[in-house]
Amino acid sequence: MSTWTWAYDPDGYGDSLPPDVQAAVERLGADLAELNSMVYLDGAAYQGLSPGLRFESGKTATGREFTINYATHVRGECVVIVSVIVY
């Protein structure tokens, strides 16, 4: 089982999102943490370059579309969601 986590930066950022978007973003955050745990197997011992700021798009259960910007903190084994754009 992966020890990777995900978080909002700033903390509490997700509280400002509509409930359906917040739920979908949290699922996506968990999926990205799991994915990154498989890509960066060295985790805390990783010595390579940072993957930088990236984005991923998704849909809520009600069909609303959104895009998140996130950073992968490889040595911290964490995906950090820094913004959410809802369309």
Q: What is the pLDDT of residues 14-32, one digit of tens each?
A: 999 999 999 999 999 999 9
Q: How many CA within 13 A on the CB side of residue 44? A: 5
Handedness of CA 36, 40, 41, 42 (dihedral sign): negative
Give the pLDDT score at 29.
98
pTM of the predicted model, to two decimals? 0.92
Helix (H) or strand (E) holding 22: helix 19-39
Give the pLDDT score at 13.
93
Give the pLDDT score at 77.
97
Residue 39 sits in which domain range? 5-86
Q: How many domains does the chain have?
A: 1
pLDDT at 2 over 80: no
Is the distance from CB of 18 to CB of 84 less than 8 angstroms?
no
